[in-house]
Amino acid sequence: MLTNQAAAAGLDNDTSWTALYEEEADVHGDYVTEVRNAVEYGLNDPRDSAEMACVAAEVADASVKALLSEWSLYNPAGRCDRRLRAPGPASQQRRRPDRACARGRPDRRAREAELPAPAGPGQPANLADALATLQKVANTVNGLVDRHASTTVRALHAAPSTAVLPDNAHETVVAAATLLAKQCDQKVTLNRRHPDETYEDDGSGFGCGCDVTIAAGAEEFNFHRGDSEWVLTRESDGREEPGGVTAFSTWATLSSTLKTAHPQQLVDDILGVVAADRT
C-alpha cells in the first residue's frame, strides 16, 4: 500500500511501488535475466545462498557507483528510469536484511539445530547475537523504506521532463554539433549525409552516416556513431586504403553507448579528448 498523501500520475494506492522497477526490469533485462534464470533453475543449497548473497553485495556496490555519475538519472527514452532509481536500491536494502534474518529464525533452524542462548557479558557473540543484530538492522531499514520510498517514487514518477532530448542517433549528432559549436573554440562542422526528415533508424548499432569534424590546430577530429558506440577519431591516425577509404585502427570510445545519449555528455567527452591531445 502506498502511503503518500498526494496522488501522482500513473500511481494509486493499489499500485505497489516495487512493481515499478520489476516491470522495468523486463525492459532493462541483460543483468536481471541471469538472476531470474538462476531462480527458475532452483536455489536449493548453501552454495546457492552464498552466491546470491555475493551477487546482492556486488549489485549494491555497483548501484552506488552507477549513481555517482552525473548522468545516472538521464532518462533518454522517456520511460521510468528516473523512478526506477529509487525503488531498486530501496527494495534491495529492505529485502537483504529481512531475508538474512529469515534464514536464521528458530522455527526454520530448529529442524537442523537448536539456537544457543544469547551470549552473556564478556562472552564472545554467537549465532543468536548475530541474528538479533541483523533483525535490528532490518527493522531500521524497513522503517526508513516504509516512511520514504513510496513518497520518493511518486515524486520522481510525477516529475515532468523539461529538456528537449534526441529521439534517434541522427538527432543526437545534430544536437552534439550545435553544442560543440558553442562550447569549442575550434572550427566545428556538421557533415549532413541526408535531410533531417528522411532518416529512419534501421535498428542496427550504427548511426545515420552524418558526422562532425573539429579542426583543432593542425589536427582534425571526427565524431560519429560507430558499431553500437560513439567514437572520436583523429585524422592523423587514419590509413588511406584503395578506393579512397580511410581506415582507423585506433579511436576514442565515448562514455555512453546509447543512440540517444545526452548530447552534453558526449560533448564533454569530446572536449576532454581534444584538450588532452593539445597538451
For the segment 124-171, what is each residue's pLDDT rounded down to a tens digit? 998 888 888 989 998 998 888 878 877 777 777 777 767 678 889 999
Backbone angles phi, psi at 22, to 5 degrees: -65, -40
**Alpha helices (H) in the chain, listed in sequence order:** 17-25, 30-41, 46-67, 81-84, 87-103, 106-109, 127-158, 169-183, 263-278
3-state helix, strand, coil in the chain (%, to 5): 50, 15, 40
CA distance 266 to 205: 17
Structural domain boundaries in the chain? 17-158, 169-278
pLDDT value of position 44: 86
> Does the pLDDT at position 278 exceed 70?
yes
pLDDT value of position 177: 97
Q: In terms of DSSP bridges, do strands 238-241 and 230-234 run parallel, antiparallel, or are they unpaired?
A: unpaired
For the segment 53-94, what is each residue's pLDDT rounded down to a tens digit? 999 999 989 988 988 888 887 765 443 343 344 444 444 444
